[in-house]
Structure 1
Amino acid sequence: MNLGIIIKGQLRTFFSTNFSNVLELCLEKYQNILIILVISDLSEDISNLLEIFFSNYPIIYYIIDYNDYIDQYLMAMNKKIQSDIFNTHKKNFLSLHPQGIDEFPFIPQLNTGREFHQLSIGMKKLLEFHNSFFPINVVLVTRFDIQYPQLFYPHVPESKNMLDILSFNQYNKKLLLETMEEFNLKNIDDLIQFNKYSKIILPNCHIEKKKHNISFGLDYFYNYMTLERIKSGNNNIIYSFGVFSFGTLDSICILENIFDEYLLLEPVEPELFYRFFAYEAQLINFFLLHNRCILAYKNDSYSLVR
């Protein structure tokens, strides 16, 4: 089994995170590891630091200087915001959030667009390696500033037990079972019905905190669609903590196209309009529209390191 990792953004506090712990666990589990680095603030000093860091591990890494793609990104974004589809979405969004300024979401969401652009670039390069060097089985997409859960490594559970599939690891399983018991839910059918008929509370537009562990849509969306698909046998599962996600290559490789479709896709459910332009909401919507199952967790098992 071989692992691919795409890390995007500014280097920030990368060397202060516990990524090395994740990498060491991955080396125990995978035969080959490829890491694609799409870096916004690349410099000679950063290249040297990365060379020193990765020289400690038997992995392949490839650096992409995102500065070479800025003009391409800005041209694409300008084209998007002039499209009829985007302006329809914007109108619908502002009808729910009338306090939004006229320029929203173009100016505030430059960073979100860049993240998806970097993700697309990284996935294209990873697929080149997959087709030319060695096959990639599992892919992690992440950022440089993530502090990961203890003993975390990206993998797809082999268990056939439904709760194991839904929870990914024992920590999430504990949270899932506790919350299911609180709401008297016994199985996946109960979870489907619970999520199908739950509604986001306005005006906060977030799911209640006590329901995060059973919504599978972070705090944006009651994700009954994924539960229905998994129950029916759909194995195209992506596990996501919002800012980092992982799954089999077959499931996650469609991220190659996410920037092309960014801002232009219809929401699978009207409630997604409440946070439609947020990175995580766009990610969930993209996977669901492409018949994937995304299990997105909102808990305290990771943090951002600034």
Structure 2
Amino acid sequence: MYNDIKLEKGLYNLAGKSFTQALTEADPDENYADSSLAGLDAFERQLKRFDIKICGSECDKVEKFFVTTESAVLFPEFVKRAITQGMEESILTDIVAVKTRSDCNQYRGYLISESAAYTTKTSEGNSLPETTIKESPNSISLLKYGRLITASYEAVRLQRLDVFAVTLRSIGKKLADAITSSAVSTIKTGATEVDIAGSALAYSDLLNLYSQFTSYNMNTIIASPKNAALILSMTQVQDSISTDEKGNIILPFGTVLIKSAQVNDYTIIGFDRNYALEMVTSSELIMETDKLIDRQLDAFTVSMNLGFKSIISDAAKTLNLDK
């Protein structure tokens, strides 16, 4: 049972396993299928064990994690989850087609080449048009994105956990925004560029960009805050505006409009989010867990190694506003 699990620092250092995975292995979720704990994961069951409330009117303070040496082991996972939640609130989850885990910090991937259009017909005895998939001659380097966080235990120990979590989420969101800049740059690389017709962006330019997609669907547009506001001010958009379940704006032709400061004011990116971008990571979020467990908050780091690769270059196109 969850009350009998021995919590120690080593649970963070098991090869190929996260802290929660290690906990779940020792305390499987299925053991609680028909109990009042059915909706909790292994980490949340440990919070209940030590009566640590991380939200609500009776939310505890940071110091509650450090009542015992075992409950202190839970603190790094709390920090990690809050930062990860902030990262997941960014647009990254809306623009990545697939996530790949790499065993090293170099990733090669593959290239696709086509010998002829898919509409090409062949007569009996002749070769069919060919699609070639081969290893890419160039590898991408996974770069480290992270943050050094400095604080003192005395400064945070009396803070409510939900307030502290908001701060951590903010750090995660800003970290993800920095990562998004690299993702946007990768989508743009190799994408076909389309110029606007006049001297300023018009609704007809968006329709023209939409019409450039033949094999793929332009289901997403990323624009700077300035251009997103300009698009929303267009009469054609105001007359038939709608939102999806996440609150994203849906343009009249069915494309989701995403506002991002990681895009400049001279470019609008249209792409098929199901085909355009691969995110490659060599690790989950890395933290100095020992420092957090020992209340050494004066300087600890959070980081992750990752990179991006274009999957199908024809699944993305850019609209150039700089004429």
What is the TM-score with the length of structure 2 in the denominator? 0.22
Higher helix proportion (structure 1 or 2)? 1
Higher strand proportion (structure 1 or 2)? 2
The structure with the larger Rg is 2
